[in-house]
Amino acid sequence: MLEIKNLHVKLEEEEKQILKGVDLTVEAGKVHAIMGPNGSGKSTLSYVLSGRDGYEVTDGSATLDGEDLLEMEPEERAAAGVFLAFQYPVEIPGVGNMTFLRTAVNAQRKARGEDELSAADFLKEVRAKAKSLKIDADMLKRPVNVGFSGGEKKRNEILQMAMLEPKMCILDETDSGLDVDAMKLVAEGVNALRDEGRGFLVITHYQRLLDHIKPDVVHIMADGKIVKTGGPDLALEVENNGYADILAEVN
């Protein structure tokens, strides 16, 4: 589904190479986890896949079901099925959360040539999904992420993901800043979306999220590259021994 080959990325404004040849394939129905020390390039990878400005791809490719992602605008990637749950969800004063969600859902439907969701159907769906994430009516009415706690912002990301039903879900440190209960809610939200046709790329610094979202494959990223790939046990190894051993072994 998602195929990344030899991806090299530098900052647009500076001569700083961040990704130095990433190879990664996520198959439909699978959950891949990326772990790695701070600054290794995990967020950069997620931004490059979703089309944020400021990065320059100097080599390599990234495709979704064979379509070149790197050529598309961010909104086209979204319509094609890419979704990024942000490490730092953005606050947008003046735009109601509900309006935002409905605009996004209908924009994607329109881009795919589908009918827009009626106001009633949308409302029914959003209420049900919000409820399972313990997002109350007040949070839906408030401006996007404004005044939300860290945990509320992350749950709001998962609500967007649930509403947009993307093919390829990328979660960037969705567990950071969450207490155990909030993490369980988020994990349940993600697990509810696990499906044969959907791929996940779960970026996390810690193993604990992976207790709740069981990965099929675990990658270790360091200094802009995937340095090791293994099964779920690899995450436990990191948990017990830290990154140092793995990095020493690779070097």
Partner 1 sequence: MALPEVKQTATEARLANLVMPDAGCTRAAREDALARVLEMGLPGRRDEYWKYTRPDTLVSAEAPTAALFHSDEAMLFSEFDRLKIVFVDGVFSPEESDDLELEGVTIDRIEDICCKDIHWAKELYGVLEARGQTPVQRPLAALNTAFAADGIAIHVTGKPSKPISFIYRHASETSDAMLHHIIRVESGAEVTILENGPAASRFNKCMEIDIADEGVLHHVRAQGRDHERRAATHMFTRLGKESVYKSFTLTVNGVLTRNEQVIELTGDDAVAHVAGACVGDGDFHHDDTVFVTHDAVNCESRQVFKKVLRNGATGVFQGKILVKEGAQKTDGYQISQSLLLDDDSQFLAKPELEIYADDVACSHGSTSGAIDETALFYLRSRGVPTKDATNMLTLAFLAEAVDEIEDEALAEAIVSRLEGWLSRHS
Ligand X SMILES: Nc1ncnc2c1ncn2[C@@H]1O[C@H](COP(=O)(O)OP(=O)(O)O)[C@@H](O)[C@H]1O
Binding residues for ligand X (CB under 6 A) = 11, 18, 36, 38-44, 54
For residues 63 and 46, what is the distance between their CA atoms, to the nearest angstrom? 13
Task: State the minimum distance, in angstroms, from the CB of residue 151 to partner 1.
Answer: 19
* DSSP assigned state of 14: S
Q: Which two tokens stand for residue 62?
A: 């990234």
Least Å from the CB of residue 97 to ligand X: 26
Cβ distance to ligand X smaller for residue 17 or 106: 17
Q: Least separation, in Å, of the C-beta of 87 and Mg ion?
A: 5
DSSP string, 225-237: EEEEEE-THHHHH
Q: Shortest approach of ligand X to residue 108 CB, angstroms?
A: 26
Q: Which residues bind Mg ion (CB under 5 A)?
A: 43
What does the alpha-carbon distance between residue 249 and residue 227 come to, in Å, rounded to a whole number? 10
What, of Mg ion, partner 1, ligand X, none, does residue 40 touch, CB below 5 to 8 Å by kind? ligand X
Closer residue to partner 1, CB minimum distance, 24 or 79: 79
Binding site for partner 1 (CB under 8 A): 50-53, 73-75, 77-79, 83-84, 86, 89-95, 99-100, 103-104, 107-108, 111, 143, 160, 164
- Residue 153's alpha-carbon distances to 162, 212, 249, in angstroms, are 14, 19, 38
Closest among 30, 28, 7, 33 to 18, alpha carbons compared: 7
User: Exposed e or buried b for every residue in 132-141, given b needs 16+ CB within 10 A?
Assistant: ebebeeebbe
Binding-site partner at residue 75 among partner 1, ligand X, Mg ion, none, CB < 5 to 8 Å by type: partner 1
- Closest approach, Cβ 72 to Mg ion, in A, equals 23
Nearer to partner 1 by C-beta: 95 or 236? 95
**CA gap 105, 99 in Å, rounded:** 10
CB 108 to partner 1: min, Å: 4
Q: Where are the beta strands (DSSP E) in 2-74?
A: 2-11, 17-26, 31-35, 55-64, 67-68
Residue 41 contact, options Mg ion, partner 1, ligand X, none, Cβ 5-8 Å cut-off depending on partner type: ligand X
What distance in Å separates the CA atoms of residue 32 and residue 49, rounded to the nearest whole number?
15
Q: Residue 94 touches which of ligand X, Mg ion, partner 1, none (CB < 5 to 8 A by kind)? A: partner 1
Taking CB atoms, the residue at the shortest distance from Mg ion is 43
Backbone angles phi and psi of 191, in degrees to 5 = -60, -35
CB-wise, 52 or 124, nearer to Mg ion? Answer: 52
